[in-house]
Amino acid sequence: MYIFDSCTNVGFTNCDFFWLNGSDTTATTNISIITPDTSYNSTNTEIFLYFPRYKTNILVNIYNDTTHTFSLLEGYRGVPIGYPYECIVVTAKNGNYYFYQTSGNITKGMSLNANMVQTTYSNIQTQLKGM
């Protein structure tokens, strides 16, 4: 698990957060984050879906070895379609850090390719401060 002290204004949300805040529960979807290969996996990679509107995020942590894809926990009711998000992927492997960040609005069946870029711990902290 990664702990970045530069990202102090962001909280975690429980899976029922969106429904308790008036979202349309029928307009939700699961998401998939595809990593470049199986060397980016659940032992060295953390993926967060951040919702700036609420300053909160969810962990995308179910990993499929065959497709090297992360998704939401099975049973999670999905995330509301249309919500603005930022996706943050951080990996530490072989003594190096890798980072990917993108933003947009949640779409039905959303799938993102995490084009990981080698970076420094310091750069990751700087990126997270902007959240």
Write the CATH number for 34.
Answer: 2.60.40
The answer as to whether 17 is a domain residue is yes
| pLDDT tops 90 at residue 24 | no
The answer as to whether 24 is a domain residue is yes
The answer as to whether 101 is a domain residue is yes
Domain count of the chain? 1
The answer as to whether 5 is a domain residue is no
The answer as to whether 2 is a domain residue is no
CB 113 within 8 A of CB 34: yes
Pairwise CA distance, residues 118 & 131, whole Å: 20
The answer as to whether 92 is a domain residue is yes
- For all residues of the chain together, what is the average pLDDT? 81
Higher pLDDT, 27 or 15: 27
Pairwise CA distance, residues 85 & 3, whole Å: 21
The answer as to whether 47 is a domain residue is yes
Q: Which domain holds residue 93?
A: 11-129
Q: What is the pLDDT of residues 44-102, one digit of tens each?
A: 999 999 888 877 788 888 999 999 999 987 666 688 888 899 999 999 999 999 999 99
Token pair in block for residue 14: 């429980």
Pairwise CA distance, residues 18 & 13, whole Å: 9
The answer as to whether 94 is a domain residue is yes
pLDDT for 121: 92
Q: Which has the closest alpha carbon to 51: 86, 80, 18?
A: 86
